Structure 1
Amino acid sequence: MVGAVTPEYRALLPGALLAEPYPETRGPVRRTARDWVVDVFLFLFAVAVAVGMAALSFEEGVQEGRTLIDFIVGVLCCVGLWWRRRWPVAICLIVTVAGIWSATSIGAALVAFFTVAVHRRFVVALAVAVVGVATGFLFPLLRPEWGSSSFWVDFAWATIITALVLAWGLVVRARRQLVHSLRDRAHRAESEQQLRVAQARQAERTRIAREMHDVLAHRISLLSLHAGALEFRPDAPPAEVARAAGVIRASAHEALQELREVIGVLREDPAEDAPDRPQPTLADLPGLVDESRLAGMRVRLDRRVDDLGAVPVAVGRNAYRIVQEGLTNARKHAYGSTVDVIVTGAAGDGLSVEVRNPWPVGVPAGPEIPGTGTGIVGLTERATLAGGRLEHGRTPSGDFRLWAWLPWPA
Structure 2
Amino acid sequence: MTDQEYRWLQPSAMADPGPDTDPGRPGDRTGGRPRRTPRDWFVDIVMFVFAALVGLGAADVADSVGNPEYVVVLDQLAGAAACCALWLRRRWPVGLAVTLVGVSVIAPVASGAMIVALFTLTVHRPFKTVAAVGSAAIAAGLVQAVLRPDPSVSFRAAAVATVVIVLLIVGWGMFVRSRRQLVVSLRDRARRAEAEAALRAEQAQRLAREAIAREMHDVLAHRLTLLSVHAGALEFRPDAPPAEVARAAGVIRDSAHEALNDLREVIGVLRGPAAGDGPATGDEHRPQPTLDTLDALVAESREAGMKVALDHRVARPQDVPAAIGRNVYRIAQEGLTNARKHAPGAEVTVTLTGAPGDGLTVEVRNPAPEGDAPPVPGSGQGLIGLTERATLAGGRLDHGPTPDGGFKVGAWLPWAA
Relative to the length of structure 2, the TM-score reads 0.83
- Structure of higher RCO (CA pairs closer than 8 Å, 6+ residues apart): 1
Amino acid in structure 1 at the alignment position of 2:53: A
Alpha-carbon separation, structure 1, partners of 2:197 and 2:408: 44
Q: Tell me if structure 1 keeps the 8 A contact 2:124–2:177.
A: yes
Matched, 1:210 2:214: yes
Indicate the residue corresponding to 2:319 in structure 1: 310
Following TM superposition, where does structure 1 have runs of at least 4 consecutive aligned residues deviating by more than 6 angstroms?
263-267
Amino acid in structure 2 at the alignment position of 1:57: A
Judging changes above 3 Å, is the alpha-carbon distance between structure 1 residues 309 and 201 closer, same or farther for their aligned structure 2 residues?
A: farther
Matched, 1:156 2:132: no
Matched, 1:244 2:253: no
Indicate the residue corresponding to 2:292 in structure 1: 283
Alpha-carbon separation, structure 2, partners of 1:35 and 1:281: 70
Q: Tell me if structure 1 keeps the 8 A contact 2:307–2:346.
A: yes
Indicate the residue corresponding to 2:26 in structure 1: none
Alpha-carbon deviation of 1:182?
2.1
Matched, 1:362 2:386: no
Alpha-carbon deviation of 1:102?
1.6
Using the TM superposition, name which of 323-332 and 391-400 deviates more.
391-400
Indicate the residue corresponding to 2:88 in structure 1: 83
Indicate the residue corresponding to 1:9 in structure 2: none
Q: Tell me if structure 2 keeps the 8 A contact 1:29–1:85.
A: no
Indicate the residue corresponding to 1:114 in structure 2: 119
Alpha-carbon separation, structure 2, partners of 1:241 and 1:203: 43
Alpha-carbon separation, structure 2, partners of 1:102 and 1:79: 15
- Return the match for 1:376 from 358, 377, 383: 383
Alpha-carbon deviation of 1:229?
1.2
Judging changes above 3 Å, is the alpha-carbon distance between structure 1 residues 350 and 117 closer, same or farther for their aligned structure 2 residues?
A: same
Amino acid in structure 2 at the alignment position of 1:406: L
Matched, 1:74 2:83: no
Judging changes above 3 Å, is the alpha-carbon distance between structure 1 residues 156 and 205 closer, same or farther for their aligned structure 2 residues?
A: same
The equivalences for 1:226-265 within 5 A come to 226-259=230-263
After superposition, what is the alpha-carbon deviation per residue over 1:22-71, rounded to whole angstroms, capped at 9, x for unaligned?
45563334344433332222221111212222234344444343223212
Amino acid in structure 2 at the alignment position of 1:403: G
Relative to the length of structure 1, the TM-score reads 0.84
After superposition, what is the alpha-carbon deviation per residue over 1:154-204, rounded to whole angstroms, capped at 9, x for unaligned?
233222321221122122212222221222122112211221221122123
Alpha-carbon deviation of 1:319?
0.6
- Tell me the secondary structure at the aligned position of residue 304 of structure 1: strand
Amino acid in structure 2 at the alignment position of 1:181: S
Alpha-carbon deviation of 1:290?
2.2
Alpha-carbon separation, structure 2, partners of 1:215 and 1:191: 36
Q: Tell me if structure 2 keeps the 8 A contact 1:24–1:120.
A: yes
Q: Tell me if structure 2 keeps the 8 A contact 1:298–1:337.
A: yes
Alpha-carbon deviation of 1:327?
0.3
Indicate the residue corresponding to 2:337 in structure 1: 328
Matched, 1:404 2:411: yes
Alpha-carbon separation, structure 2, partners of 1:270 and 1:309: 34
Matched, 1:343 2:352: yes
Amino acid in structure 2 at the alignment position of 1:69: L
Alpha-carbon deviation of 1:323?
0.3
- Return the match for 2:35 from 30, 34, 43: 30
Alpha-carbon separation, structure 2, partners of 1:262 and 1:61: 97
Identical columns (%): 56
